[in-house]
Structure 1
Amino acid sequence: MRPLPRTRPPPGEVAEVAPGLLRVCLPLPGPPSHVNCWLIEDGAGWMLVDTGYGDEPTRTLWRQVFATALGGRPVTRVLVTHFHPDHVGLAGWICAEWDAPLLMPRSEWQRARLLLAEDQAATTALFLALLERMGAPPEHLRWMAARGITYGQRVLPLPSTFQPIADGQALRIGGRDWRVLVGAGHSPEMACLHDPGADILLSADHILPRISPHVGVQPSEPSADPLGTFLGALARFRALPGNTLVLPSHGEPFHGLQARIDALLQHHHAALCGLRAAAGTGLTAAEALPLLFSRGFEGQQLNFALAEALAHLVHLTARGDLLRRTDAGAAWRFSPAPGP
């Protein structure tokens, strides 16, 4: 089993995690505190996997990495695992700086481009409507209306062309074949990368070492079942070798992939059982929060928590355990389904 890399690089520096594979750790303004990006030796240069936020402090850190850590070799390609700002934020700038192509799952690229092109007031209104369905308190609705959707403030314009990557595809990187494994649920078609020769998995946000990734209902798909998609995708990763070195987008590298998958499945199973047992005369997503989380939330973190609570309730509905109705206050209320 490969020894675990023990050094988290300071911002603007790199650490080698395996031969020809470097880690870049970039700070984030809120939880989680950082995002891991990866540089994979790619012939005469480096393939970059994920880019951090599209802001000037992150751009400054990349300039430092490019000047000091690449050995004078270029970035040959930029691969973005999914559309979230901490992963795609600077992709457009880095592609332009290095004249490098962008690789991305098709639906992730489309989602990012759509969010950048949409009218922000209309997108905010759609999000507010879903928050009302979740039973969000009035003060939070006022906060969200004033803040608005900030995607375009954290993601720079993307290239107008890209190279789509898909589940099962083999990518030749630096003389080795990496296989694309889609880990959906956290986002529509998140790309993870597995090198079977070296037993290395870049797990993106799909499998994290200490927390469950955020899995929440999105305003554009209010009746979707992202938690069901996530749990199903987790099961597929159990087939990877037990000694795989897992390199997550947040947190530290780890071994024990199957044990971590089991822990994630057990975590969500317990949460679902608790919600089903407590549904009584009906629960809104807001009322479900204390059953899922041991602390309170505000601001953007409350958005995430509400969306995740709704995802659990929607999954129970998809399983036939709960029924959804709209109460007098326009919130969705989930009640036990009648027995057979």
Structure 2
Amino acid sequence: MSSKPENPAAARAALSYPVSTRPAPGTLIPIAPGIRWLSMPLPFSLNHINLWLLGEGDETVIVDTGLGDAPTRELWEGILASTGDQPCQIVLTHYHPDHAGCAQWLAETWGVPVWMSLAEYFLGHALLNESAGYDIPAMVAHFGRHGLDEARCERFRQRGNVYAKGVPGLPRQFRRLIDGDEIVLAGQRWRLIMGYGHSPEHASLYCDSLRVLISGDMLLPRITTNVNVPAALPEEDSVQRFLDSVHRFADLPTDTLVLPSHGLPFYGVQTRIAQLDAHHAERDEVLLAALDTPKAAAELLGTLFAFELDMHQLMFAMGETIAHLNHVTRRGLATRSQGDDGIIRFVAVPSAVC
């Protein structure tokens, strides 16, 4: 989810794209040697996710799986029936429903292991079981402390466990991905580059022989990756963790082809990193200008998100607004206090306001 106003047209123009359209649902496009690209629909404003098949035949590796719903399962059945591929393993970049939703079903159907990082595995299970501070009451209380009105808090309560609707189940066993490890997938060696801020231990994969980065959600060409602060980590500086993470891609070769989870594959890793730095710096400036008096995160939604938010978007927007407030506070540009009414408010320090 992108906070405004990163200019999508400017972001697109500065990058280079080898293809101009994504594959239709149920179809495949070869995008690099031994890599096929498929796109699954999503029922959100962000209406698709890119998935990747590495190799072919009985050495096919699935990278991310799509939402765990009937339409996505039907598309998977059609794709694998038409290609004759037999998956041998599944790799998940992170726990989010559009990435992990079909993982258990695919693993059980084809009898193959799921690879993911430890933090993503446990957080997915925590959300499924509403434990360890990753439950609806904790989220609602978190948003309430940041000024969200009772009417919208109640709507979150009524929505229930949305994660479980997109991820009906997760494997009870997995193989662990660890930062810096190299793994062989479909005959090619891939290095794991972990990222933070968007999710707790997001796995991106880089193959030097192919000059390909499967970036997941960490590096997207058109929108800025959502960074958020969950109830269990109320003072986390997710913005800085994200920025530090994307800078880990800066040393990749300039001819690296980036395969993102949303949008089109692109060239221009270093350019995109610079754009993201500039975008988040600009968001800090806009936020600080609005903090001339103490304000709660909910009062600042319109400052960072200049469009009408549905409930799905509101959840991400609250988390991202809190993340930016924590970021400017951690930088010493704002202060945080909690009033007698229990609401957390932030105000810019005088020197931070131009």
For the aligned pair, the TM-score class normalised by the smaller chain equals: over 0.9
- Aligned pairs for 1:1-340 within 5 A: 4-41=18-55, 44-69=58-83, 72-118=84-130, 123-337=135-349
Provide the rounded CA distance (Å) in 1 between the counterparts of 2:292 and 2:340: 18
**More RCO (CA 8 Å, sep 6+):** 2
1:201–1:246 CA contact under 8 A, matched in 2: yes
Q: What amino acid sits opposite 1:34 in the alignment?
A: H
Provide the rounded CA distance (Å) in 2 between the counterparts of 1:296 and 1:327: 28
Distance change in 2, residues 1:119/1:176 (3 Å): closer
Q: Give per-residue Cα distances to partners, 1:220-261, cap 9 Å, x unaligned.
A: 211111111001111111111111111100011111111111
CA apart distance, 1:212: 0.3
Q: What amino acid sits opposite 1:45 in the alignment?
A: E
Distance change in 2, residues 1:43/1:63 (3 Å): closer
Provide the rounded CA distance (Å) in 2 between the counterparts of 1:42 and 1:229: 36
Distance change in 2, residues 1:89/1:271 (3 Å): same
CA apart distance, 1:330: 2.2
Q: Give per-residue Cα distances to partners, 1:83-108, cap 9 Å, x unaligned.
A: 10000001001001111011001100
RMSD: 2.0
SS of alignment partner, residue 135 of structure 2 = helix
Provide the rounded CA distance (Å) in 2 between the counterparts of 1:290 and 1:327: 22
TM, length-normalised to structure 2: 0.91
Partner residue, 2:12:
none
1:91–1:156 CA contact under 8 A, matched in 2: no
CA apart distance, 1:3: 7.3
The number of residue pairs the alignment matches comes to 337
1:182–1:189 CA contact under 8 A, matched in 2: yes
Distance change in 2, residues 1:99/1:295 (3 Å): same
CA apart distance, 1:29: 0.5
SS of alignment partner, residue 296 of structure 1 = coil
Q: Report the more deviating stretch, 73-82 or 273-282.
A: 273-282
CA apart distance, 1:205: 0.3
SS of alignment partner, residue 293 of structure 2 = coil
Unpaired stretches in structure 2, ≥5 consecutive residues: 1-15
Q: What amino acid sits opposite 2:53 in the alignment?
A: L
SS of alignment partner, residue 131 of structure 1 = helix
Distance change in 2, residues 1:276/1:31 (3 Å): same
Partner residue, 2:10:
none
Provide the rounded CA distance (Å) in 1 between the counterparts of 2:118 and 2:59: 25
2:296–2:346 CA contact under 8 A, matched in 1: yes
Provide the rounded CA distance (Å) in 1 between the counterparts of 2:107 and 2:81: 16
CA apart distance, 1:329: 3.4
TM, length-normalised to structure 1: 0.94
Q: What amino acid sits opposite 1:27 in the alignment?
A: P
Provide the rounded CA distance (Å) in 2 between the counterparts of 1:39 and 1:238: 26
CA apart distance, 1:119: 6.0
2:126–2:132 CA contact under 8 A, matched in 1: no
Q: Give per-residue Cα distances to partners, 1:178-212, cap 9 Å, x unaligned.
A: 11111211001100111111111111000101010
Provide the rounded CA distance (Å) in 2 between the counterparts of 1:34 and 1:106: 26
Provide the rounded CA distance (Å) in 2 between the counterparts of 1:33 and 1:158: 23
1:42–1:173 CA contact under 8 A, matched in 2: no
Q: What amino acid sits opposite 1:249 in the alignment?
A: S
Provide the rounded CA distance (Å) in 2 between the counterparts of 1:87 and 1:193: 15
Provide the rounded CA distance (Å) in 2 between the counterparts of 1:44 and 1:144: 44
Q: Report the more deviating stretch, 50-59 or 274-283.
A: 274-283
Distance change in 2, residues 1:236/1:290 (3 Å): same
Provide the rounded CA distance (Å) in 2 between the counterparts of 1:121 and 1:185: 18
Q: What amino acid sits opposite 1:238 in the alignment?
A: A
Distance change in 2, residues 1:193/1:42 (3 Å): farther
1:215–1:230 CA contact under 8 A, matched in 2: yes
Percent identical among aligned pairs is 38
